[in-house]
Chain A
Amino acid sequence: MSWHIAALQQLVNGLALGSVYALIALGYTMVYGIIKLINFAHGEIYMLGAYFGFYALTLLNLSLLPAMLLSMAAAALVGVLLERVAYRPLRNSPRISVLITAIGASLLFQSTAQLVFGASFKPFPQAMPFRRIQLGPVFITNRQLLIFGVAVLLMILLHVLVTYTKFGKAMRAVARDKEAALLMGINVDRIISATFALGSALAATAGILVGMYYNRIDPYMGMMPGLKAFVAAVLGGIGMVPGAVLGGLLMGVAENLVVTLGSSTLRDAVAFAVLIVVLLFRPTGLLGKKGIEKV
């Protein structure tokens, strides 16, 4: 196989991985947009989502769609509780305190998962038979198609929700100015809770999709994708929904291209190199607008 076909193949793989990043990045971006917090525990919610899906498929013997919905609901609940217990009391504290709390929450989820679900990986049940489809010179698997399909569908739903519904309007208002939104009669606490629920549900879906894609889940699976999805959100412009999607896709493609070009161990460094370059030269991200700092 000549290198450009290999590259094309990696582009397809990259887009699949990238749409997973995008799903996770959406949660980061929405939460950051609304309370200016890097929710470090978001990667762990994605991991929990995968486990919820796992148990829904194996213990409860559900089929894929109900399992996914159940996992989304459970993850949403965890996200809301997390905000309620750990973040809300600190809403007026220095941002560093909240960030440290978020790191703590992330560690807590990880070690609890390790204790409850076991430290070793679990094979993820295959909810659909594996199939490979030839598309011109490259192959695409039905799982990759599923990832694309689900990711795009959820993104469209989210876009409609944020842009056209009253809830979306309220959410954007809270992101702009919490106090003003409060004065306009918006229940800010409820909007923030809903944002966490929404972001967590998306992350849970991503968890299940990745579980199916790689056939395995483990308590640490949230760490790297979580960080990378955050990078993706920053890359696209944090706080912006289209930015997260763009950043996620770019990130997935970039990583897979690096794998084609050479070392697969360098793959993890790509994300962070991208991050540092973006932060240095375009801290507001690709789609972000420049803000004026007030003196």
Chain B
Amino acid sequence: MVKPRLTGLIKIILLLCIYGVVRLLESRGLLLPYHVQVLSLCCINVILVVSLNLINGFTGQFSIGHAGFLAIGAYLSAFLTVKMHVPFLAAILCGGLLAGLAGLAVGLPALRLRGDYLAIATLGFGEIIRVIILNMEAVGGAKGFSGIPKYTTFGIAYLTAIITVVVIRNFVHSDYGRACLAVREDEIAAESLGVNSTYFKVLAFALGAFFAGTAGALFSHYLQYMAPTPSQIGFVKSIDILIMLVLGGLGSLTGSVIAAVVLTIIPELLRGFAEYRMIIYPILLIVVMLYLPAGLMAGRELSLDSLARLCKGVKSSAHYS
């Protein structure tokens, strides 16, 4: 086993290296601005998927309205930077906070609903947010919100994604996260052990929504234009996020990260086959559910430990051969 201090250090160095490599390739002209854009989008999607994982994967609720939180963060932050000239970071935070409040509001019905009923209620909630935005002239209404400054750089998106993953990992590995797991596994047993299941469902929703809101703020200052369409802030987007989550595996953070990155890059590679993408995607989803119902990572995590073990395994088998 690798010592915790050491693994922490290795991870920080690795993360810095990734950043350094991207910047280096960018300065050498090997990565075009378009490529860096895609990488920023990867980071935004990582935040979305990981935060949904907290609600769906770790707490066992079934939300398919995550884009609603994204929409709140996206529009509020854009409104703040464009109309009120608020600094970007403050706008991100505000977007996250308002989305978190909305998460509280959705978490409340979650107390009474389970499984598919909750799913449909969250879907409805997301659509209500979209329709409300559609009717708000201050943020462009049906025409959409344009003229948003391009504040989202790769650096900011990358840093926010890392903070999100670390914070949610810390949450999951604390008493709070264990309480959420307990609620997911068996609500009655959890309650009988003193876990207030209501509280933890709402907490998970609020926290997940907060991060989705920050992702939204990054998203609107990345696209520079928001349209209140289902595919941008409606249930089509929610389902996109859900697909990434399910493919990566519910309850696996590394699975979420990998799936978010891969499923953001693949469509960009397949740009020429846009129509087929919309067919391949759902087929992939069905096939995974049929043959790999727990997703790519099946609730496990990829860690330095497991990598080290894998390397050792390869080495020792090489040695014997």
A binds B: yes
Residues of A within 8 A of B (CB): 37-38, 86, 89-90, 93-101, 103-108, 110-112, 114-115, 223, 227, 230-231, 234, 263, 265-266, 268-269, 271-273, 275-276, 279-280, 283, 295
Interface contact B127-A103, CB-CB below 8 Å: no
With A100-B246, A111-B282, A265-B142 known as contacts, the answer to whether A280 contacts B124 (CB < 8 A) is no
In whole angstroms, what is the CA distance A165 to B285 when docked? 39
Interface contact B134-A265, CB-CB below 8 Å: yes
Interface contact A93-B293, CB-CB below 8 Å: yes
**B282 neighbours in A (Cβ, 8 Å):** 104-108, 111
B198 to A: closest C-beta gap in Å: 14
In whole angstroms, what is the CA distance A230 to B123 when docked? 12
**A112 neighbours in B (Cβ, 8 Å):** 279
Interface contact B127-A268, CB-CB below 8 Å: yes
User: Is B131 close to A, CB under 8 A?
Assistant: yes
Interface of B is mostly: helix
Most B CB contacts (10 A, CB to CB) among A95, A96, A234 go to A96
Interface contact A272-B285, CB-CB below 8 Å: no
In whole angstroms, what is the CA distance A94 to B289 when docked? 10
Interface contact B278-A103, CB-CB below 8 Å: no
Interface contact B116-A103, CB-CB below 8 Å: no
Query: Which of the segments B45-53, B107-115, B152-160, B213-221 contacts the partner chain?
Result: B107-115
Interface contact A99-B112, CB-CB below 8 Å: no
Interface contact B120-A115, CB-CB below 8 Å: no
Selected from B119, B124, B278, the residue in CB contact (under 8 A) with A272 is B124
Closest chain B residue to A281 by CB distance?
B112
Interface contact A103-B279, CB-CB below 8 Å: no
A111 to B: closest C-beta gap in Å: 4
With A265-B131, A269-B131, A273-B128 known as contacts, the answer to whether A103 contacts B112 (CB < 8 A) is no
With A111-B279, A231-B124 known as contacts, the answer to whether A104 contacts B117 (CB < 8 A) is no
**A271 neighbours in B (Cβ, 8 Å):** 124
Selected from A101, A227, A295, the residue in CB contact (under 8 A) with B286 is A101
In whole angstroms, what is the CA distance A265 to B143 when docked? 13
**B281 neighbours in A (Cβ, 8 Å):** 107, 111
A261 to B: closest C-beta gap in Å: 14
Interface contact B109-A268, CB-CB below 8 Å: no
User: Is B62 close to A, CB under 8 A?
Assistant: yes
**A111 neighbours in B (Cβ, 8 Å):** 275, 278-279, 281-282
Can you pick out 20 interface pairs between chain A and chain B where the beta carbons lie within 8 Å of each other?
A37-B116, A86-B286, A89-B290, A90-B293, A93-B289, A93-B293, A97-B289, A100-B246, A103-B285, A104-B243, A104-B283, A105-B282, A230-B120, A266-B135, A269-B127, A272-B123, A273-B124, A276-B125, A279-B109, A280-B112
**Complex interface bits, B279-297 against A, C-beta within 8 A gives 1, otherwise 0:** 1011101100110010000
**A272 neighbours in B (Cβ, 8 Å):** 123-125, 127-128
